[in-house]
Amino acid sequence: MGLNLVLVDHHDTNVDLSGENIEVIKAKNLVDFYKKVRNYLEKDYDLIVSDEDPDGITSVIIYSLFKDKLVNFEGNRKGIKKEDLSSLKTKGVSTILAFDWFALCYSDLEIFDKIIYLNPKSSNLINVNTSEIIYRALPETEKLGRDISTIGTVCDYLVDTSKEKFKEFIEDYKELFPELLELARQNKLDRYNAYNVNGKNTKLYDLSLMFWAPFIIESDEGNKKLINSIIKEKKLDIKSLLDKNNSHYLINMYKELLSLITNEKNNFYSKSKIIDDKFYFYEPITHKNGFMSKFSSIITDELPKDKVIIMKSKSDNGKLKYSLRTRENKYQLGKILNSLGVGGGHDEAAGCIINQEKEEWFESELIKLINQKI
Ligand SMILES: [Mn+2]
């Protein structure tokens, strides 16, 4: 029995896609792309895997709404490897659908008989995030699908490429987002003002933390609870979620996450190491999956535009995990990591995992390559 993989992604990648088992699907425009994605989403899969960030998780939720059932889901941050083959076989898994980039970046691609790769970037289309792709491909998920997808997009910082969706969302809940209404109507909403207007965090910021919190606080279990609760109830009451007197699971997780962030911020501003008045090196004291990724983004939004935030943490297997952030897209962080052959991502947000002995080499190359772009 062979193994087949369908991958929906939106990242720049340095992964070699020329293998004979890999088919890169091209499209004329986004509408055509969504139609092609839909053809694959209509099929059934033995297993769904996704990144464990909200973009991956919201994609799984929207797909489950479309299938009208809880799909067989596994969060995956290490890719699908040779050594997983026998357990996949035992579980009867021969078809896998994967959302977002971990599956491509870290899987052993040669173990698959066939890989279908769906990424708008393969056709030079704009960067729409995975939950936007899944929702646009499955519009019958309607308002609930749209709301989940809106949160997935705001968590993935791709507000700019999904403006229509935000306009509808803000209009539907205008009493909750009074400061965003005019911005949305005038097409001026972007990833920064979506989170913060006049120095005050918006409720979109709160929603984004609510969808990050289950995983950061409770790991895989948290994401499963998040998925299950929405699929079971077939609703997400945005208004009551934003009422902090409620005792909804997501609100409790959110409050725990907020206190971790406050604590970590205090430590960051006293302990980060600043090089060339530009590079902020920092090792978070909170060791929770996904925390560093979210925290580095929060800090980046607080610092001046030209700074580069480089956070690292040691993972269980002794490797070093890096989270790179900036608001200056000319630094092209994802491409720099690609060129060093260690990871990837976007211009303003990228990440990689390296062996510990490469630490010095990596950090000095990073500083050198970013300085070359100034
Ligand atoms: Mn994404």
For residue 343, what pLDDT is reported? 82
Q: Give the start-to-end residue ranges of the domains of the chain.
A: 4-141, 203-258, 272-372
Residues 236-251: tens digit of each pLDDT: 999 999 998 888 999 9
Residue with tokens 């499209």: 27
Alpha-carbon distance of 224 to 214, in angstroms, equals 9
Q: Read off the amino acid at residue 31.
A: V
Task: Give distance in angstroms: CA of 98 to centre of ligand 1.
Answer: 12
Task: Give distance in angstroms: CA of 96 to centre of ligand 1.
Answer: 18
For residue 162, what pLDDT is reported? 96
Alpha-carbon distance of 366 to 357, in angstroms, equals 15
Residues 171-197: tens digit of each pLDDT: 999 999 999 999 999 999 999 999 999
Q: Count Cβ atoms within 10 A of the Cβ of residue 266 and give its class: 0-12 exposed, 13-18 middle, 19 or more buried.
A: exposed
Task: Give distance in angstroms: CA of 180 to centre of ligand 1.
Answer: 23
Alpha-carbon distance of 136 to 274, in angstroms, equals 42
| Local confidence band at 12 (pLDDT 50, 70, 90 cut-offs) | confident
Beta-bridge partners for 5: 96, 115
Alpha-carbon distance of 124 to 215, in angstroms, equals 32
Instruction: Report DSSP letters for 223-261, one per residue.
Output: HHHHHHHHHHHT---HHHHT-TTS--HHHHHHHHHHHHH
Task: Give distance in angstroms: CA of 276 to centre of ligand 1.
Answer: 31
| Local confidence band at 20 (pLDDT 50, 70, 90 cut-offs) | very high
In the chain, the N- to C-terminal Cα span, in Å, equals 52
Percent of the chain with pLDDT over 90: 89
User: For the residues 271-296, what does the mean pLDDT come to?
Assistant: 95
Task: Give distance in angstroms: CA of 8 to centre of ligand 1.
Answer: 10
Model confidence at 301: pLDDT above 70: yes
Dihedral sign, CA of 93, 97, 100, 106?
positive
For residue 344, what pLDDT is reported? 83
Task: Give distance in angstroms: CA of 77 to centre of ligand 1.
Answer: 13
Task: Give distance in angstroms: CA of 306 to centre of ligand 1.
Answer: 23
Task: Give distance in angstroms: CA of 224 to centre of ligand 1.
Answer: 19
Alpha-carbon distance of 247 to 253, in angstroms, equals 10
> pTM for the full model?
0.91
Reported residue count of the chain is 374
CB 51 within 8 A of CB 102: yes
Average pLDDT, the chain: 94
| Local confidence band at 70 (pLDDT 50, 70, 90 cut-offs) | very high
Task: Give distance in angstroms: CA of 90 to centre of ligand 1.
Answer: 30
As given in the structure block, the two tokens for residue 215 are 């995983």
Task: Give distance in angstroms: CA of 1 to centre of ligand 1.
Answer: 31
For residue 150, what pLDDT is reported? 98
Instruction: Give CATH for domain 272-372.
Output: 3.10.310.40
CB 128 within 8 A of CB 30: yes
Model confidence at 224: pLDDT above 70: yes
Helix (H, G, I), strand (E, B) or coil at 124: coil
The residue with greater pLDDT, 99 or 77, is 99
Model confidence at 104: pLDDT above 90: no
User: For the residues 296-317, what does the mean pLDDT come to?
Assistant: 93
The H helix count followed by the E strand count for the chain is: 14, 14
CB atoms within 10 A of CB 261: 19
For residue 1, what pLDDT is reported? 57
For residue 229, what pLDDT is reported? 92
Q: How far is CA 80 from the centre of its chain?
A: 18
CB 196 within 8 A of CB 205: yes
Task: Give distance in angstroms: CA of 227 to centre of ligand 1.
Answer: 17
Task: Give distance in angstroms: CA of 142 to centre of ligand 1.
Answer: 21
Task: Give distance in angstroms: CA of 164 to centre of ligand 1.
Answer: 18
User: For the residues 336-358, what does the mean pLDDT come to?
Assistant: 91
Task: Give distance in angstroms: CA of 308 to centre of ligand 1.
Answer: 21
Residues 198-211: tens digit of each pLDDT: 999 999 999 999 99
Q: Of the given ranges (1-15, 104-118, 171-185, 308-322), which has the lowest mean pLDDT?
A: 1-15
CB 50 within 8 A of CB 100: yes
Task: Give distance in angstroms: CA of 131 to centre of ligand 1.
Answer: 8
Task: Give distance in angstroms: CA of 102 to centre of ligand 1.
Answer: 10
